[in-house]
Structure 1
């Protein structure tokens, strides 16, 4: 309960007496100065004020809105700590919030062994980091710790390149590699003229120097062919370069720019001829008619003439692999030597094994002579 007596208020501070007077006190017939009394009354007033403000009334001990008292062990009795206990319970750690640790939880932690051995709770090193030996190594099939490598030529499958290594590799590639593309990203040609109103040669020139893949729709302005064609172009300077293309009929085309001027398209189907291997007494009819064969586009061409043939059913020549009919034999009829004022003919068969067989002659096999003329001209497809 509050103090009942009012304080003897005295605000005049006065003058503090000397220590000698404090020690000897007042003497008989001595008249005290008024300011010494002011000092004394003021100090008494201040001391009583401090006591009333700071002191606790015994009726306030252990009651609501009062103060707690310690027990005989110097501890706070639980009966006076309910509010504190409730407050502490609110601060305990839970699954959804951080907080104070319970005694039983601390016991669980005390049972955990720190260390770097298997089964231990991991202990950080002196730098506050996980020891390197406790980190699993990374592989091409598993995640893990990986060592950095500053070399862009390394073949390691367990180390990772640094940013510096990648920069060195980039610098090397840009300094040494030819980076210009010759096709589109999807593999299509880098120059395409599909509109027949466009100028194909102008499109190639506008692409500039370097190697490119090209397409031209048949019939476009300055096209090589009336059929679609694909190929390559190469310009070493803006005024010197060439184009090489193949159209859908397998005709090869070329054009060359010399000092800024195109020389014109040229069909490059020059044939390479090979002498036909002969059998069973057959020989060339004369030096100007040596039997030969060639492949032009998707066709086999045979030319020349024979003599020395005396009977039907024989194999008189053989075509090599790659120059033979693909699925079926190729039969054809050619003129032969006139006899008795009448024209004769011979039927030939070119088989899938390459054998060339004389099947029939109109003058009859019995009337054949080794000097008779047997031309072999024919063309057949191999597609």
Structure 2
């Protein structure tokens, strides 16, 4: 009882009213007192880590020291993670190669490891990420710790402005993060991501979104994508999107995850055939067609899958249902009618049409829809003929269509003509 009273006495005498600097000095003096430390970190996380506010140069350093002293307390770890997430988000912590322990021995002492973490206190590298990994492994049965550990990884690897899987984005990411990408996979983080996705039925969308967001960034590296596929990640992403069909961020990050996995050279056709991916993605496109970013990412995902084979194209165009809304061709028309001034989305639509038109068997299957697609490409060319990326691309696809598939407009099914005329309304 005396210890509890002492800790309570200490906690109520924390100088919150004197500002962060005074509180940090107090934390340094009382770092052995667990209740005091927990209260201080909670206060900092709740009051000082808000709205992009800068903090204090010594805050990361003291947070690491607290982790080393109180590594058995999940609450302290949770609050510390909140602080490090904020410090990372506002640029006070950044990725940099680690300063090695002073000893060159293969097995440095625990003191040398601690010193290395302290010396690297404002950097994310193998030393600091490994300490977080070990603490996350110890406390991940606590949902908030699990979620915050993934949120920290998201803050490090996933700036909000980066949300696509274009080749340019991949190269930018790889050049920036290659030093620690693969080392991260040797730690607990992939397991945390997979376990996060397994919580699909637990009613916690935040951890699902964060797990998806971090996974597709790590999958930019081919070796990482191979390991995620071996961990059954494709099925888990499918399940998350299937059971959360109306959640925009889950669908968006899920689409990017499917793209990353399906673009991997380790993806095999058998995996794609195990799941009704076309229905999942076409339903998602129908639901979120109005949302620029989600629409683009979903079409990009469709493109990454149909590039695998003509069979995948046929699964999406559904020849027996050309006129129905949830068919790739119908959704291409719908997307163009909504996003007719969005160059990025139009560029993706042209690539999809190009893939659809690339195989004679597919052309035969969608024979009645070819005039509509040609009319769409012709309109794009006429509107964007001075734009190489759009006008020239549309013209190139038009020129590749065999003459045998030139159908007079009066031979087109009436419903298809109505659909196309609706584009200009």
TM-score by length of 1: 0.27
Structure number with the higher helix fraction is 2
Larger radius of gyration: 1
Structure number with the higher strand fraction is 1
Task: Select the structure with the greater relative contact order (CA < 8 A; seq sep ≥ 6).
Answer: 2
